[in-house]
Structure formats: C-alpha cells, structure tokens
Structure 1
Amino acid sequence: MRLDGENSGEEQEEQVNSVAYSICGDGFPHPQELVVGYALTSKKKKSFLQPQLIGLARNRGIFFVAIDLNRPLAEQGPFDVILHKLSGKDWCEIIEDYGQKHPEVTILDPPDAIELLHNRQSMLQDVVALNLSDCHGKVGVPQQLVVTKDPSSVPYEVAKSGLKLPVVAKPLVVDGSAKSHELFLAYDEFSLSELEPPLVLQEFVNHGGLLFKIFIVGEAIKVVRRFSLPNVSKRDLSKVAGVFRFPRVSCAAASADDADLDPSTAELPPRSLLERLARELRHRLGLRLFNIDMIRQHGTKDVFYVIDINYFPGYGKVPGYEHIFTDFLLSLVQSKYKKRPVA
C-alpha cells in the first residue's frame, strides 16, 4: 500500500539484519544498541538524516532503518523506536494499530497528538489555557480570529471581533505543503477579502524583527534566533494599504544569533520560563518533538507571545542537533530498562 509523503524503502541506508544485538542476562538487547525505524518524507529525510547524525549515531550504537511503506509494518523490525512524519489517514491507522500491538516500541509521536498541531486554531489553545505568568515573565498568544466563510465576510468579521490592524493571515490547516505556510500581512481589513479562507488572522505584535525558535527534543531545549518581520508604526498604517505576502520567515536559514542586534531585543527569554513552558506543553500536547515560535513584545523585557507550534521541525539547522538527538534516543531506551522489574 502506498502512503502520502514518501517512496518505498528502496533507498534504505541501513538494513535491520545489519544490526548485531548483544543479549543481556534478562534476554533483552543491550540498551546501547538501538534500532530506530523511520518513516519520513524525502525532504525531511534529507534535512534530518545528515551524515554527521548517522555517523555519530552509529558510533553510539544507534541504527536508523528506513520503513518500507509497501510492506506491512508488522513484518519489519524489530524496532526500539519509530520516528515518523507522514500525513494521511492510512498511515495514522497503521501506526496507531502497531503501537497498540507493540507497547514495547516507543512511537515518536502519537498521531492523535500530532494532529492538534495541524490546525492553527487548536495548536495554541494549550498556551492560552496555561496562562503562564510568573516573576520571570508572561507568555500569551496574540488575539486571533478564525475565518471559514466567504471572503467577502472577512472585513465584517474583523470589525466585529475588535482585532487591531495590521494582522497576520495564515492558512488554518497545516499539512506540510508550501501553501499551508504562506504568510500575509494585512494593513486594512477590506484587502483581506482577497485571501482564501479558511484562515487564521493573528494580531501583529511589534517584536523588533526577531523571532525565537525554541526546539524541544524530549527534555532538552535549544533556542536560536531568526530574523522576522520588522515593526509597523502608526505612520506606516496611515500610508500603506493592502495585503502583502512574505516568505516563511520562521524557518529561514539565516540565523540572527551572530548579528549585531539591540541587546534589549536579542536577549534570550529566561531559561526558567522556557523550561516551565516546555514542560507544561510536553505534558499537555503529549509530544516530545516540537518547536515553539516565540516573540518578545517590542519595548518590554518579559512579555512574550507564542505565534506557532510545529511538530518535528527543522532540527538539521540547529547547531549540535546530532548530539542532542542521540542523547535523547539513548535516554528513551535507558529509561525503559530502568522501569523493567528485576527477574
């Protein structure tokens, strides 16, 4: 059966039978030898399974094995971990069924949990419910409006909601396509009728043209800076009208970490705040591999907004990601063995 997002397993770089297990006294494979079955799109495979990750993983006893989507999953393996990022109802049913029949295998991550991040209306609900505010700062979500009706109704809906201009317009559904990541900045509500619902309209918050991408890998947190949209002034609003399309800012390759930036803008969010946010979202979302796009409100030190959450993001662009990820994979199997009762 052919599934969305990937070809067959002809391009496997490692075969299951190439892995030599050392059996411990309890009859289980030694935890330092870990087989990770992966089902990734071609694009994700290229960006994530880079030579430095594969080499380091092999040196640490971790073997990545391509899952053949043209064969029943139950006939493949054995796997310790399954790493996946594919779309489609068929794949979700396969991985859910496999997880139920093989509870000893760690699935990264459950399809039903991932599904929450495929909708921009639901992805930020847990941040709103968290209402995170303490001595280290405050984390919220920009005011949002979901538009699913005819485009001509958009100006009325915006005026009715009290949403302030400008607004960022994003497709409601996140399906991995280029279209689902299109980004528009609208300076007047009437121009919004040019866009095609379903949309999420998000109030634009001035943030000094800088975005913080917070990468979560299990309990590990890595923050990188990315350039973002510049501030918009009242003078700009009086002179500019219309809707303007922007590239996918949040995944731009250009890092802002080494740029000469205003210290008040570039200062990373407090570590303790990020740790609490990550811990709460891991629990609420039921995910271990995701990233949070966060901005700091311009002119403040401790007011932050989460504008997007993405599943299995571009880890390959994170410095040292191969060490972070291999540590994470080994921690999974080590915790599994610690939980096993002694015979």
Structure 2
Amino acid sequence: MGAVGGVLLDESVLLSDDGSGNPRLKPGAEILLRRLRYSNLRVGFCHHEDLSAVKAIFLQNTARIYSFSCISLDVPDAKFSFNQLLLDWGIAGDSCLYVTSKTHDAFTHEMQNEGWLTVCVGVDSGSVMNKEFLFINKLEELLITVCSLNKKAMQKSVVIIGYVMKPSREEDFAKRGALPIYPTQNGLIFVPLTFEIPLVSQLQDVDAVLHKATDEIVCFDPHISTHFSHGISFSKGMQELERFIQDHPECYMIDPLNNIYPLLDRYNIQQLLLGLQELNMKDRCRLRAPHFLKIDNFHEHTLRDQLSEANLSFPIIVKPQIACGVGDAHSMALVFKFEDFKEICVPLPAILQEYVDHGSLIFKFYVLGNNVFHAVKKSMPNASFLKSSSEKAGSKPIIFDSLKSLPVATDDQSSVGRLQGDMQSLDVDLVKSAANWLKTKLDLTIFGFDVVIQEDTGDHVIVDLNYLPSFKEVPDTDAIPAFWTAIKSAYEARKTN
C-alpha cells in the first residue's frame, strides 16, 4: 500500500441534528475539516440515497465551503462512483481511507473489495473481525491515524512532526501549505496535537514536536524570580507534553523551552541586542538596539536621572517586561512628557524604550533555519504626527495594544516617495548578518525580528524579537520549502546530538 492520499468521509461520522431535525456537524468535525482543507490530501464526503434531502443539501454545501467532493451512493453504482472519484482526485498508487461508523453497510464491503481501508469511528472493535478495518474512538484521532499509516507505508523514511499552536496561528501556517499531512518532498508529515485526548496515544509515532509554547501560558508571576522561566505556568496539556518529552528523549522538541525563554523577557531581549555593535563596520550604516531602561515603579524619585543616564528622551514607548503569552503582554503606551507616567497602567515591571522616527515603515525579518526572508509593512507614524494626535485628545499619552490597536500611519502621514526611499535604504546584507548572529546566540530554528530605519541617521534598529512568528506577509514561495528544510535540519541535528 502506498501513502494515504485520499480520505472519503461518510455522513455518519459528520452529521447530527440539533434536536429539532436540523442538521449540524458533530463535535470535532469542523476542526477536522478545516485541517483537512490544508492537508494536501484529497477529501470527499459521501452519503446514500436514503439520506433526507435537508441533510444531503447541508452536506453538499459544507463540502463546497471546504472545496471537497461530495458524492451520492447506492450499492449498484458504488463501484462506478468510487472509481470516478479516484480519477477526479488523480492519486493513482496512493491508498485511500473510507471513514464511517457503519461497519455492516454493504457499501463498506464494496469499498474493501476495491482496496480501500475502512476506518471505523466510535465502533466496538470486538463486534467486527476483519483486518481491513481500523478502529478509532473519536474523530479527533483520524489525522494521527493517517500519519501513522503513511509512516508505515514509507518504511519510516518520513518524519512526523506534531505541532501545538493556537487555531489562528495554525491557520496562518496551514493556508500557506506549510503543515501538510501528506509527506513533503523532504519527507515531513505534520499532525496537530490536541489536548482533548490523551497525548500518549498521539505521540507514539511522533518524532518531534513543533510548538508555540507561549500560546499555552496561563499565568505569569514576575516576582517569583529574576529568571522569567520560574514564574511561568503553562496549561495542563503543555505540562503533560513537557513531561512526555523528558521521559521519551527519542522524541525531540523544536525548539527546547529553555531556548525560547530569553524571548519571553523584553529586558533580556534588549540586553542581547546590545551585542549587535560587534557587527558594525566603518563606512556603513549602523546596526543597533534601541536605548532602553527597565523600571519597577513609575513613581521612582530618581526616574528623571535614570532616563538621562539611559540616553532616553521623549517620546518614549512603555512596554511590559513580559513579551508574550499573557493577555496584557502587548498593552503599551507612548508618553510625551514626564507627567504622562502617572496616567498609564502598563503592567510592571516595564521597559522604557526609545521611540525611533522611521518613516512609518517596518521591516519584518524571518529566520527559517539558514534562510532569511523579509516583508515590508506600514508602521506607526513619526513622533510629530503622534504628538499632534495626543494634543487633539487633551495631551494625553497614547495607549494601545500592539496586536489589536497599533496606531498605524495613515496615507496623509506617509508619502509614497518617502516609503520607497526607506525601502531602498535597507541594507539587507547587514541585517542578514544580524540574523545569523542572533541564530548563533539564541540557538533557535525559526524566529523573527523587526527592523526600523532611523530617518535622520540611517541606523538600522532592531526593536523586537519573537519565536515562531507567522510569515504570512512573505510572498516568496521559497519560504515554505525553507520552513520544511529548517524543521528537518533541526530534527536531524538534535537526533545526532
């Protein structure tokens, strides 16, 4: 049998009703369909002629939403329908799964006779004795079942990468085709791990785990220790995953939690970025970190002196020291005068950071293993525009969430000519040298950082660092193969070590 290339889902595993006779998807079905949509598998629905018209229409409409096939079956025409489906899918040589909860259905046996493997959902395996059946308890187990079958079919030449990330981030990656269940050209299979069912059963065939652990932080206490890792509490699922990795060293985490902890702390990030001066050369624009100051209290009587010593002048961005993972990690303020500190409620401890006039343009760099890509985005306007906005609002500080309400420049605050000039002034080679330097310092597989170019000096200032960012802004089609290569190389490196 070849790798599984197609999945046909019977209506019996997809549909239920709301108690009033109206059809709806069963629990777990919507998430499964969303993941199958970007899996690189061929997917179809099927139903028999005796299905009610209301349910048949609902099933057909659902298939259309996800760009799946939908066929109607009766036993005399079953063979023709299924053969036509294979022709439409164009996956000759691959295996196909028929997923159902009807083990005694005549069509089930017809499919088996044609070489399809039947997966039974929620069926007592003791009632059926047939090697052509596989049994799973829940629909959520289907994807790991497909991955396990593909690994066996390809004689373990593939590497299964389980991944943990929040749905919105997963969809960003999946839409780009970055998380296929059908093997990539370099032999990777990606499967989502869910905390809704025991992890041990999901991880039996998983070789490595790709994670966005910050999505699983439930709380953070900055006062426990100067080391942020000691104050972080992860979800029960993430704790279970961490214990599994510790007990099963043959399963690798990409990347280890210890490697990502520095990026949770904006103070650590700023201190790390101070080392960028090592890369500066004569007769070239300067690469640097922004000026900054860590504070524990906005009312310290020496704060004015500390600002002066840190080379900070207004306006100043105020950011929480915790960089991600908790709800208020992105709650920030832009203050224009010393008295503004009394009016803000940014969580403490906090980082006071230099605001760099950068022509409303930010360069987002993505490091995928040994490859570096970048995208250009509109950003906050220069300080003069922001100050004008503040004065119109009663000379108050500007409070914002950097993920939801970032004050991005409007068209009248940034001219096309200036934006084009800023793009031309980007020294890509210099920033790539910074990417390689950061990769060595951090020992991370995939990370990103933001660069702004100071208008009056041309300095390239790195203002942010983050782990496993979505690179949906990168139009380059080479980014996806580079992502896969980075994952495969990290797996092989950790396996060797």
1:242-290 superposed Cα distances (whole Å, 9 cap, x missing partner): 30124527998x999xx93434312263233222211221121221221
8 Å contact from structure 2 (residues 369, 482) kept in 1:
no
2:351 aligned residue: 200
Is residue 179–residue 191 contact of structure 2 (8 Å, CA) maintained in 1? Answer: no
Residue 138 in structure 1 maps to residue 295 in structure 2: no
2:161 pairs with 1:36: yes
Among candidates 382, 389, 397, match of residue 231 of structure 1: 382
User: Whole-Å Cα distance in 2 between the matches of residues 111 and 297 of structure 1?
Assistant: 34
Aligned pair partner of 2:465 in 306, 309, 330? 309
Deviates more, 1:9-18 or 1:222-231: 9-18
Distance 1:54 1:118, change over 3 A: closer
Q: Residue 243 of structure 1 aligns with which residue?
A: 397
Tell me the CA shift for residue 66 of structure 1: 1.7
Tell me: CA distance 1:21–1:56, structure 2 relative to 1, closer, same or farther (3 Å): closer
Rounded Cα–Cα distance in structure 1 between residues aligned with 2:385 and 2:179: 51
Task: Report the Cα distance in structure 2 between the residues aligned to 1:170 and 1:306, rounded to whole angstroms.
Answer: 15
**Does 2:368 align with 1:217?**
yes
Q: CA deviation at 1:72?
A: 5.0
Change (3 A) 1:117 1:221: same
Q: Is the 8 Å Cα contact of residues 445 and 487 (structure 2) preserved in structure 1?
A: no
Please state if 1:76 is matched with 2:202. Answer: yes
1:35 is paired with a residue whose SS is strand
Where structure 1 has 5 or more consecutive residues not aligned to the other structure, the ranges are 1-7
The code of the aligned residue for 1:228 comes to S
Given candidates 475, 479, 486, the residue that maps to 1:328 is 486
1:104-119 pair list within 5 angstroms: 104-119=250-265
2:266 counterpart SS class: coil
In structure 2, C-alpha distance between the alignment counterparts of 1:235 and 1:146, rounded to whole Å: 24
Counterpart amino acid of residue 427 in structure 2: P
State the partner residue of 1:67.
193
1:137 match: secondary structure: coil
Q: Where do residues 1-343 of structure 1 align in structure 2 (5 Å cutoff)?
A: 11=31, 13=35, 15-19=143-147, 20-21=150-151, 29-30=156-157, 33-50=158-175, 52-54=177-179, 58-60=183-185, 61-77=187-203, 78-85=205-212, 86-87=216-217, 88-89=233-234, 93-131=239-277, 132-135=279-282, 136-149=284-297, 151-153=298-300, 156-162=302-308, 163-177=312-326, 179-196=328-345, 197-198=347-348, 199-233=350-384, 240=391, 241-246=395-400, 248=402, 260-262=416-418, 263-267=420-424, 269-301=426-458, 303-319=459-475, 320=477, 321-332=479-490
Q: Deviations over 1:149-204 (max 9, x none)?
A: 2x433x85144321211101112212334532133211111111112241211111
Structure 1 stretch 222-231 or stretch 52-61: which is displaced more?
52-61
Identity %: 22
Q: Does structure 1 conserve the Cα–Cα contact (< 8 Å) formed by 2:290 and 2:462?
A: yes
Native 8 Å contact 2:452 2:460 kept in 1: yes
Q: CA deviation at 1:292?
A: 0.7
Quick one: distance in 2 between partners of 1:226 and 1:183?
A: 20
Show CA shifts across 1:85-117 (max 9, x none). Answer: 132435665444444444444422111221211
**1:279-338 C-alpha deviation (Å, 9 max, x unpaired):** 22112122122111111111333x21111111111223322343332333344456679x
Distance 1:265 1:189, change over 3 A: same
Task: Return the letter of the residue paired with 2:173.
Answer: F
> How far has the Cα of 1:142 moved from its partner?
1.4
Superimposed CA distance per residue, residues 115-139 of structure 1 (whole angstroms, 9 cap, x where no aligned partner): 2111111122211134231254322
* Shift in CA distance, 227/235, structure 1 to aligned 2, threshold 3 Å: closer
Read off the aligned partner of 1:21 and give its amino acid letter.
K
- Residues 375 and 473 in structure 2, CA contact (< 8 A), matched pair in contact too: no
Asked if the contact 1:250/1:293 (under 8 Å) is kept, the reply is no
Structure 1 residues 235, 208: closer, same or farther in 2, change over 3 A? closer
Distance in 2 separating the partners of 1:207 and 1:298: 5
Amino acid at match of 1:29: K
Number of residue pairs aligned between Structure 1 and Structure 2 = 320
Q: Which amino acid aligns with 1:112?
A: N
After superposition, the Cα gap between the structure-2 partners of 1:260 and 1:63, relative to the gap in structure 1 and judged at 3 Å, is: same
Distance 1:56 1:323, change over 3 A: farther
Question: Structure 1 pair 255/211, CA: closer, same or farther in 2 (3 Å)?
Answer: same
Q: Please, which moves more after superposition, 215-224 or 63-72?
A: 63-72
Q: Report the secondary structure of 1:152's partner residue.
A: coil
Distance in 2 (alpha carbons) for counterparts of 1:37 and 1:82: 5
Asked if 2 retains the 8 angstrom alpha-carbon contact of 1:36 and 1:81, the reply is yes
AA aligned opposite 1:119: D
Contact kept, 8 Å, 1:211 with 1:226, in 2: the verdict is yes
TM-score normalised per structure 2: 0.56
Partner residue, 1:5: none
Structure 1 residues 286 and 95: CA distance shift in structure 2, 3 A = farther
Structure index of larger Rg = 2
Matches of 2:247 and 2:334, distance apart in 1:
47
